[in-house]
Structure 1
Amino acid sequence: MANEKKNGSNGTCGYTEEAFLVHYAMRHGTVDGSTSHFHDNYELYYLLSGQRQYFIRDRVYRIEKGDLVFIPKYDLHRTLDAGPFHERMLLYFKDSFLDHETGEDEQLKNYVLQPFQRTVPVLRLPKDDRSEAEALFYKIIREMGNKRPGFQLYVKALVLELLVLVSRCAEQETESVFDFETPLQRKVAEISTFIRQNYKNPLTLSELSKQFYMSTYYLSRVFKEISGFSFIEYLNYIRIKEAQSLLHDSDLPIVQIAELVGFESVANFGRVFKQSVHLSPMQYRKMQRIRT
């Protein structure tokens, strides 16, 4: 899950269980969500005030007051600074949370997960819907702060109400067009897309620089500056995400999976996988099979 480095005053409150987390934060000063991550939780991010830059999958989005961000499981993302102050709500939940709270009603579960399948992961709420959503967010914040008897159950009920509300909003609203703010953001999106499409190949900065007519130094600096990731961080995360799918969905030997996702040695694959997932590939496969 996300960690944020901060320099300045802030206020927070939250509530967490194994399959569920909701967290409110108000930040003053420089804040850098510099821990890059993808995870097996769904993530819903709502900006109550201020501005943020959010790198999601392969491009940067400027997030403004009233914007909802939907992060599916295993999508690479990172928040970046865009101003001296912001206030946000963050919700993580696993499939098991929805299974439990919806009584394993597949139709309802699929409905509240629909917004996480959007091509554009940001929903800019209209004023009326924003007021209704914020009323629910502030009820959740108040419950987490006061911790009155039964607050845990009430928070979950409010979260389910919120998920249904935002699913309705997403269903009614067409996907917004988010233009690139600078030519460099567009170029980094092109580079990210190229990496995602060619991660199986032995990609290097030198090859990318030739492909995009940029010096290796300039490409490396710009990619890091815009996305928050180094080239090798981004490439490895894409490869590890694909490896997770193969470990879960196939019986292929680990050495073959390492080769299929672009690693030249199974030793390097195992090292990078453990750094990213905190489990070895074999441990990850065993855990996924226990869960299913």
Structure 2
Amino acid sequence: MSSEAVDAVTNSMLERAPVICSFRTETLRQPGLHSHNGYEVYLCAKGKGRFFAGDRMYPLAEGALFIIPPMRLHLSRPESEPFHRFVLSIEEHYWEKLLQTDAPLADAYRSLPDDDRLLCLTPAPNNAAMLQELLLQLEHELARHEPYAEAAVKGLLLRGLAEIARLRTGGPAPARSVSAADVKVEQILRYFSEHYQEELPMDEVAAKFRLSRSYMYRIFKNQTGFAPNEYVAALRLNKAKAILLRTDWPIIAVAAEVGFRDLSHFCHMFKRFTHTTPSGYRSRFGKT
């Protein structure tokens, strides 16, 4: 299953149920970057690796907690087995209405990063264990379909979001890898994020960072799991998805806005990676 198929499956599930919570122990098989229409809370329960989002790479270790806003490209890359994680997906409008029930909590989450980054925390072991227990209760409640389940789910979500908000004000910052390769790749990622609307010849990008093209490709692939041109394509298509969801712009304007100079090439790439046309994607998932 392609990463874009995962994206479509999650989006479709959130249309049917605004909250999805699961504890996963199976081998991770996400082949590439993906994004969702809703928020995602991701908690690593066992294992280690890397978590990639936007223009940053984060350590993925037991207890690592991430909140990924809608339409943010991300990917987890486990480097050990077994690898266990909790994944909580919340439809965007449900998230907003939930937070409206508590003004201080809404204020705490209003400061979530609005660029291509995300919230990353490393709770103390006792806090991580408490969050895992809440997520297990939430998964169980969602599966039961018993009377007053909606109220119980909202209560558990508010409790979990409140605990995470407390961690934001008092928790330790996550350890960050500082290898020379990490620093260089994050610089390149940031450059792509800032210039994706422009033409990006990879020879020129490599020269800008005083690297050979082959060496840039090698370190980029080693650190992220994908080639620079693959990342740029995913970034542009993800930006296009966000525009399609929230505007009624003509398709040719969307293509130009995200860096495609040729409409037919944009439509070909969009269908290749999403298995639908831009118009079809807008009709299926768009809000306008």
Aligned equivalents of 2:139 and 2:262: distance in 1? 48
Q: Does structure 1 residue 226 correspond to structure 2 residue 246? A: no
The Cα shift of 1:229 comes to 2.3
The Cα shift of 1:61 comes to 0.9
Q: How many residues align?
A: 275
Which segments of 5 or more consecutive residues in structure 1 lack a partner in the other structure? 4-14
Aligned equivalents of 2:246 and 2:146: distance in 1? 43
Cross-structure match for 2:19: 20
Q: For 1:238, which of 235, 239, 244 is the aligned residue?
A: 235
Q: For 1:159, which of 149, 154, 157 is the aligned residue?
A: 157
Q: Does structure 1 residue 195 correspond to structure 2 residue 192? A: yes
Measured against aligned partners, the alpha-carbon deviations of 1:162-182 in whole angstroms (never above 9, x if no partner) come to 123212322x23672543242
Cross-structure match for 2:58: 61
Q: Does structure 1 residue 271 correspond to structure 2 residue 268? A: yes
The Cα shift of 1:238 comes to 1.9
- Shift of the 253–140 alpha-carbon distance from structure 1 to 2, 3 Å rule, reads closer
Determine which structure has greater relative contact order: mean sequence separation of CA pairs < 8 Å that are 6+ residues apart, divided by chain length. 2
Native 8 Å contact 2:46 2:85 kept in 1: yes
Aligned equivalents of 1:156 and 1:35: distance in 2? 32
Aligned-CA RMSD value? 3.3
Aligned equivalents of 1:114 and 1:177: distance in 2? 21
- Shift of the 214–48 alpha-carbon distance from structure 1 to 2, 3 Å rule, reads same
The Cα shift of 1:116 comes to 4.0
TM-score, length of structure 2 as denominator length: 0.79
Aligned equivalents of 2:67 and 2:167: distance in 1? 13
Native 8 Å contact 2:33 2:234 kept in 1: no
Which segments of 5 or more consecutive residues in structure 2 lack a partner in the other structure? 4-12
Q: Does structure 1 residue 110 correspond to structure 2 residue 106? A: yes
Partner amino acid, structure 2, of 1:221 = R
- Shift of the 136–274 alpha-carbon distance from structure 1 to 2, 3 Å rule, reads same
The Cα shift of 1:122 comes to 0.9
Native 8 Å contact 2:48 2:80 kept in 1: yes
Partner amino acid, structure 2, of 1:80 = R
Q: Secondary structure at the match of 1:83?
A: coil
The Cα shift of 1:134 comes to 2.8
Native 8 Å contact 1:98 1:109 kept in 2: no
Q: Does structure 1 residue 134 correspond to structure 2 residue 158? A: no
Native 8 Å contact 2:123 2:172 kept in 1: no
Of stretches 34-43 and 183-192 in structure 1, the one that deviates more from structure 2 is: 34-43
Q: Secondary structure at the match of 2:47?
A: strand
Q: Secondary structure at the match of 1:91?
A: strand
Aligned equivalents of 2:172 and 2:280: distance in 1? 39
Aligned equivalents of 2:271 and 2:71: distance in 1? 15
The Cα shift of 1:24 comes to 0.4
Native 8 Å contact 1:120 1:175 kept in 2: no
Cross-structure match for 1:206: 203
Q: What percentage of aligned pairs have identical amino acids?
A: 23
The Cα shift of 1:45 comes to 0.4
Partner amino acid, structure 2, of 1:235 = V
Q: Identify, as 1 or 2, the structure richer in strand.
A: 1
